[in-house]
Amino acid sequence: MSWYLKRLWKEQRAALSLLILITLITGLLTPVIVQYERELIDALQGALSGSGWDLRLLQPALILLGCYGITYLLPCGSELLYEKLRAAGEGLLSRSSLEKLQRIEYRFLEEPDTADLLSRVAKQNEQAAQAVVRSCCELLGAAISVIGFFLFVFSASWISGLAFLGLFILLLFFSNRSAKGFYHINRQFSETERRVMYLDKVVNGRSFAHEKKLFGFTDYVGRLRSDYLLGQRKAQRRFDRKFAVAFSLIDTAGYLCAIVMMALMLPSVWDQTLSIGVFIAASHAALNLNLTAQTRVLSNLDRLLELRGYWKDRRLLMELPEQSGEAAETEAHAPVSLRSIEFRNVSFRYKEEGPDVLQNVSFRLEAGKHYALVGANGSGKSTIVKLLLRLYDPSQGEILLNGQKLQRYSRQSLRGLYSAVFQDFSRYYVSLRDNITLGEPGDPARLAETLRLARADAITDKVGTDTLLGEIYEGGRNLSGGEWQRIAFARALYQGGELLLLDEPTSALDPISESEIYTQFGELSAHKTTLFITHRLASTRMADEILVLDQGRIAERGEHASLMEAAGLYARMYESQKKWYSESWEGEADETA
């Protein structure tokens, strides 16, 4: 939390300084009001007992009026400052989280624990930004008030003062225990909320509608959702009961102490050894001490202690290992011009104790040529793409770009080198234009040409370039899986990288649409190096070289004709799929090749 306050102080020094000043004044005003109430009551008692009315009544009355006025006016200014600092703080926390996400090693982003951690941090960014400054300032003001009240109580009865001090320490102890319990419950709820959100998507999502009707599993999903929520509510009720009783007992004990203290003071008031003003001031201080401790101190301290779990999670997020070379991202880098990429004896495993997904893989991609990477599921095809993109680094061996280790290039430079279409492509619920340009201003002519090349211009005729896509908007237009994939294809083409990576790029397209895409392959791949990863082997006829993966190794390589003649793994795979495609399609593919 200290780094956050330091950064916020650096960015919002004037606003924080003014807020601290208001807090100090507000904290001092409460005991000052009690003191001048005592003086005013004693002056009134003197006037009523026969000493006469004089200016001694006017001074405390005027001071009290001024204090009451300031007490009502200051919160208006502080609320404006709190809102200004909340917006600045939320922006600071969100920016730092997003910057960290860009640097985290990719393997952590695929782990469920990291997903839960990110969910907890993102969910509490706004709460932390709103609560930290407000709670710290209000706790400072309450602490000043409590010290003033303690002085009044101790001056009237040191025994009562010690009793209140003991209750205050007990209150702090249970607040700390309560905050720790809240953190652990919040951790349990993160996974529950993630499951419930997914089940809500199943129940309400359009993509699940046909199977819900066909298989009738809505009741089953509803029971699962109810079970998760019921378990969460039971844990929450146990937590609430446990600490509610403790805080209620402390609160009651505080008021009993105040009553006992007033009862002990009454004889002294009766025999006039203690003035009525002192009695009322001390009673007021004792009641306010209990009220302030329970409301202002306890609530703000609880909020800060509960956020201790958030700062712990945030520290865990910031300590996640980062991909090497990220420190250079702040520097300017010239674009990389592709000449060759080479895998040299590359082996890779996702976990240190896990099996090798790739074993001693070697191949070379030359600029301007087209390559296909084929193999059964789990043979390591997508892993090769992740290594090319430097989402992971090899466990053994090296990857060379233009003869230099891939790690020597900044990630900014590599991002400008690649364009990619993945099988599990993303669907952005923004306009068609922003889906392709990713929020950049964009060139309309270039956008139109990209849509034409990706055979996505029909989508423009259907919804326009500025209509919001997705069901989350009123009036938003939804698209079919094939249309979304065409948009993903257009997005990759628009980015303009020299190396086009196509990981099952047509998996959501029907054979006719797929045929249209590959018929235009010459236009799509003009002046580019392409690497296909595909299960549909008809498209491999257009490749200059085909790499056949089998159980993490390069089993075969060569052109389509030579591999068919070798009658090996590739030939068997191709013959098993040949019936899927018409002879006319194959003829078109031959002409394109």
Q: What is the pLDDT of residues 462-497, one digit of tens each?
A: 888 888 887 666 667 778 777 887 888 888 888 878
Q: What is the pLDDT of residue 359?
A: 92
- 233 compared with 449, residue with greater pLDDT: 449
Q: Do residues 102 and 108 touch, judged by C-beta distance below 8 A? A: no
pLDDT digits (tens, 9 = 90+) for 531-576: 888 777 767 777 889 999 998 899 999 998 899 999 999 888 888 8
The share of the chain scoring above pLDDT 70, in percent, equals 64
Q: What is the DSSP letter of 540?
A: G
pLDDT value at 346 more than 90: yes
pLDDT at site 289:
59
471 vs 148: CA distance, rounded Å: 58
- Predicted local distance difference test score (pLDDT) of residue 365: 92
For 241-267, the pLDDT digits (tens) are 665 665 666 566 666 666 666 676 666
pLDDT score of 238: 67
Q: What is the largest CA-CA distance in the chain?
A: 124
Return the ∠ at Cα 407 (arms to 406 and 413), rounded to 5°.
75
Q: What pLDDT, on a 0 to 100 scale, did the predictor assign at position 16?
A: 87
Q: Quick one: what percent of the chain has pLDDT higher than 90?
A: 7
Q: Are 14 and 27 in contact (CB under 8 A)?
A: no
Phi, psi values for residue 353, rounded to 5°: -90, 0
Does position 343 have pLDDT exceeding 90, yes or no?
Answer: yes
Q: What is the pTM of this model?
A: 0.59
Up-side HSE of residue 354: CA atoms within 13 Å toward CB?
Answer: 10
- 81-139 pLDDT, tens digit per residue, is 888 888 888 888 888 888 887 778 777 777 777 777 777 787 777 777 777 888 888 77
pLDDT confidence of residue 74: 82
Question: What are the tens digits of pLDDT across the range 212-232?
Answer: 555 666 676 777 777 767 776
Count other C-beta atoms under 10 Å from residue 72's C-beta.
Answer: 9
Please classify residue 376 by burial: count the beta carbons closer than 10 Å to its beta carbon, then call 0-12 exposed, 13-18 middle and 19+ buried: middle
Residues contacting residue 593 through CB under 8 Å, at least 6 positions apart: 541, 542
DSSP assignment letter at 362: E
Q: Which residue has the higher pLDDT, 245 or 529?
A: 529
Instruction: Retrieve residue 493's tokens.
Output: 């083409």
Number of Cβ within a 10 Å radius of residue 561: 9
Please give the Cα distance from 335 to 332 (Å, whole number).
10
- Find which of 180-194, 217-231, 393-407, 487-501 is predicted with most confidence, using mean pLDDT: 393-407
Alpha carbon distance 358, 342 (integer Å): 15
**Cα 73 to chain centroid, rounded:** 37
Structure tokens at 570: 């590739």
The number of residues in the chain equals: 593
| Mean residue pLDDT across the chain | 75
pLDDT range class, residue 330, cuts 50, 70, 90: very low
Q: Is the pLDDT reported for residue 584 higher than 50?
A: no
Rounded CA-CA distance 377/423 in Å is 13
How confident is the model over 294-299, as a mean pLDDT? 65
Strand 418-421's sheet: what is its strand order?
Answer: 418-421, 499-503, 529-533, 370-375, 545-550, 553-558
Q: What does the block give as tokens for 75?
A: 């919160």
Q: What residues does 370 pair with on adjacent strands? A: 530
